Amino acid sequence: MFTKSTIQKFRELPTPFYYYDIPLLKKTLQRVSEEAGKYDYHVHYAVKANANDKILAIIKDFGFGADCVSGNEIAKVMDIGFDPDKTVFAGVGKSDWEINLALDHNIFCFNCESIQEIKVIDELAGEKGKIAPIALRINPNINPATHHYITTGIEENKFGIYQWDLEDILQLLVILKNVKLIGLHFHIGSQIIDLNAFKGLCIRINRIQEWFIDHRIIVDHINVGGGLGISYENPDRHTIPAFAEYFGLFKNLLELRPKQKVHFELGRSMVAQCGSLITRVLYVKNGVKIKFAIVDAGMTELLRPALYQAYHRIENLTSNGKPDQYNVVGPICESSDSFGKYINLPETKRNDLLAIRSVGAYGEIMAFRYNLRDLVKSYLSDEL
C-alpha cells in the first residue's frame, strides 16, 4: 500500500500525522457515483465522518450532496461550495441558531426527530416567512449487528420519531403552515457489514409507507441513511466497499411509488480506507507477558479503539525484522489509550514508523486536545 518513496517522505515529517491516499479516495467516490447513478439514487456525504477541507472539496467536485448534523457543518459545506439543494440536516438536538442558519441557506430538507422539533422549525420558519421542507426521521426498530454504541435505529435509543407518535404528528402537520412534509428518513447505525440489516430496513420502510398511504400521504423522498461498513481487518484486499451489492439491494427490495426519489447518507464507506495515521515508535518496554510499543499518537488522534474497542490494522513501515507481538499503546494518561493488543509486527524499535490503517472516517474529525496535546497535521498523497 505504501511505496518506498512515500515511506521515505514520511521519515522527514514530524509525527504523528494523518495521510490521505487521494487516488484511492477518487476511485472510491467514482464507484459510489457510478453504482448510485445506475438507479438515479441521490448520495449525501455524511460530513461528520471527515470534514477536512481538502477532502470535502474533492467530494463536492464529484457532485455529491452533504448530510450535516450541526450548524457548523452546514456553514462548512456552504463555505466549501456544496449545493444547498443537496444538503440535509439531521440531529436529535438542533439549536435555534442552527435551524435559523439552515433556513437562511434554504437547504433541501430538515430530518426531524421529535414533535417538539417540528413545532420549533415551524415557528422559526414562520418568523422568516418561509416554508421549511421536512422529513420525518422514523426509528424503524431495526437492530443491526454492530457495536451497541453505533446502533441508532432501535427504540431504546434516542434517535428518531417512535412509531407510536406518528398519528399525532400527522394531525399536527395539518395545522402547521410553515413546514412541508417531503420525505421519510431512516438511519439504522454504522459499520454494518451484514447487508441483511438493510434488507430488514427495506421491508420495514415498505410497511411504513403502506401506513402512510393508508393515511393518504405519499412523500416524494425516501432517505435510507447510511451505515455501510468497511473491512478494518483487510484494508488492502477490500479497498472499496460493496457499493454495487448495497445499492442493488435497495433497488430490489424498496417498493417505490411513481416519482419517489431515494436518498443515501454515506460517511464511513466513502472515506475510511483512504486515510492512515502515521506514528513513530517512542519506546519499547517489556511488560509481564507482552512487549509494549509506545507510540507518539494516542486516543487524541484516533479515539475509536478507546471509545468502542474498534480494531484498526497496524503495520510497521520501516522494519522487516523477526515477527513478534506487541501491545501498541499511546502516550495519554488513560489505560484505554491503546490501539491494539497482541498485534503481530516485525521486530519493532524506537523510531520505527507505524501506519494505523482505515482512519479516514471518524479519525481526524474526532481529534481532541486532552493532555493539552496539539491537533496534528494531515497530508494528501499528492502534496508529498
- What are the DSSP E strand ranges found in the chain? 17-20, 42-46, 65-68, 87-89, 109-112, 132-137, 179-185, 221-223, 261-266, 275-286, 291-295, 314-316, 323-329, 338-346, 353-356, 378-380
In the complex, the smallest distance separating the C-beta of residue 249 from ligand PLP, rounded to whole angstroms, is: 15
> Would you count residue 188 as binding ligand PLP (CB under 6 A)?
no
**Does residue 197 touch ligand PLP according to CB under 6 A?**
no
Only segment of 170-178, 193-201, 267-275, 343-351 that touches ligand PLP (CB under 6 A):
267-275
Nearest residue to ligand PLP on Cβ basis: 267
> Under rule CB under 6 A, which residues in 140-169 are in contact with ligand PLP?
none
Stretch that binds ligand PLP, among 44-52, 120-128, 171-179, 196-204 (CB under 6 A): 44-52
Nearest CB to ligand PLP, comparing residues 90 and 329: 90
By CB under 6 A, which span of 11-19, 120-128, 262-270, 349-357 interacts with ligand PLP?
262-270
Q: Residue 60 or 187: which CB sits closer to ligand PLP?
A: 187
Rounded least distance, CB 50 to ligand PLP, Å: 9
Q: Which residues of 145-177 are buried (b: 16+ CB within 10 A; e: fewer)?
A: ebeeebbbbbeeeebbbeeebbeebeeebeebe
Residue 227 lies near ligand PLP (rule: CB under 6 A): yes
Cβ closest to ligand PLP, residue 228 vs residue 367: 228
Minimum Å distance from CB 226 to ligand PLP?
A: 3
Which residues, in sequence order, are bridge partners of residue 294? Answer: 283, 329
Nearest distance from C-beta of residue 299 to ligand PLP, angstroms:
20
CB 379 within 8 A of CB 13: yes
Among 315, 379, 325, which Cα is nearest to 1's? 315
Question: Are the beta carbons of 247 and 269 closer than 8 angstroms?
Answer: no
Look at strands 87-89 and 65-68 and give their pairing: parallel
Using rule CB under 6 A, residue 52 touches ligand PLP: no
Nearer to ligand PLP, 67 or 352 (CB): 67
268 contributes a contact to ligand PLP by CB under 6 A: yes
Position 235 contacts ligand PLP (CB under 6 A): no
**Does residue 241 touch ligand PLP according to CB under 6 A?**
no
Instruction: Kindly provide the b/e burial profile for residues 188-220, where b requires at least 16 CB atoms within 10 angstroms of the residue's own CB.
Output: bbbbbbebebbebbbebbeebbeebeeeeeebe
Terminus-to-terminus CA distance in the chain, angstroms? Answer: 16
Interface with ligand PLP, residue 360, by CB under 6 A: no
Q: Which is nearer to ligand PLP, 46 or 262 (CB)?
A: 46
C-alpha atoms less than 13 angstroms from C-alpha of 109 in its C-beta half-sphere: 26
- Taking the least distance from each CB to ligand PLP, the nearer of 227 and 330 is 227
Of 144 and 340, nearer to ligand PLP (C-beta) is 144
358/236 Cα distance (integer angstroms) = 10
Q: Which residues on adjacent β-strands are paired with residue 280? A: 353
- What angle, rounded to 10 degrees, do the helices at 243-253 and 22-37 form? 20
Q: Which of 266, 294, 306, 376 binds ligand PLP (CB under 6 A)?
A: 266
Closest C-alpha to 297, from 233, 373, 221? 373
Beta bridge partners of 277: 18, 356
Of these, 133, 140, 153, 225, which contacts ligand PLP (CB under 6 A)? 225
Rounded to whole angstroms, the Cα distance separating 76 from 73 reads 5
Helix (H, G, I), strand (E, B) or coil at 112: strand
Q: Is 226 in the site for ligand PLP (CB under 6 A)?
A: yes
Size of interface with ligand PLP, in residues (CB under 6 A): 18
Per-position x/- string for 116-135, each x denoting binding to ligand PLP as judged by CB under 6 A, each - no binding: --------------------
* Ranges within 54-113 binding ligand PLP (CB under 6 A): 67, 69, 90
Is 228 or 356 the residue whose CB approaches ligand PLP more closely?
A: 228
Q: For binding to ligand PLP (CB under 6 A), which residues are involved? A: 46, 48-49, 67, 69, 90, 187, 190, 225-228, 265-269, 361
